[in-house]
Amino acid sequence: MKFNAKYFVIFISLFVSEILIAKYATGFIRHTFGDYLSVMLLYTFIKSFIKISAYKVAFFVLLIAYLIEFLQLTNLQNFYPLEYRNILKLILGTSFSIPDLVAYSLGIATILLIEKLVVKL
């Protein structure tokens, strides 16, 4: 484990962006662009604290995103505790969507491209 301030600053920026999108945006920005950024958010959070290969983190993040999306095919959201229902619906979603899978994939592809061009994997 090693703290990386650069990734953490990017994480905070993405986190603020996601909050603003959740609070004020609708349509494409909220439903697709928000998903696109969400994998970047999780990626930068992990890279902020763990020194690990970009490919491993990218795979792990994409796996988590896909798992959450496919869990939306179940009626899991009906079992969210009442006191946390709204926040869990916001974070975990409520309905399966192929465009969400595309957004997650494009977000990870973007991260890997940036890592290759800027950080030189």
Written as tens digits, the pLDDT of the chain (121 aa) is 899 999 999 999 999 999 999 999 999 999 899 999 999 999 999 999 999 999 999 999 999 999 999 999 988 888 888 898 888 887 888 889 999 999 999 999 999 999 999 977 6
User: In the chain, where are the structural domains located?
Assistant: 5-119
pLDDT at 92: 83
Could you tell me the two tokens for 36?
């696109």
Q: What's CA 52's distance to the chain center, in Å?
A: 18
Burial class of residue 30, CB neighbours in 10 A (0-12, 13-18, 19+): middle
Cα 51 to Cα 119: distance, rounded to the nearest angstrom: 13
pLDDT at 121: 60
Cα 109 to Cα 90: distance, rounded to the nearest angstrom: 24
- Residue 115 DSSP code: I
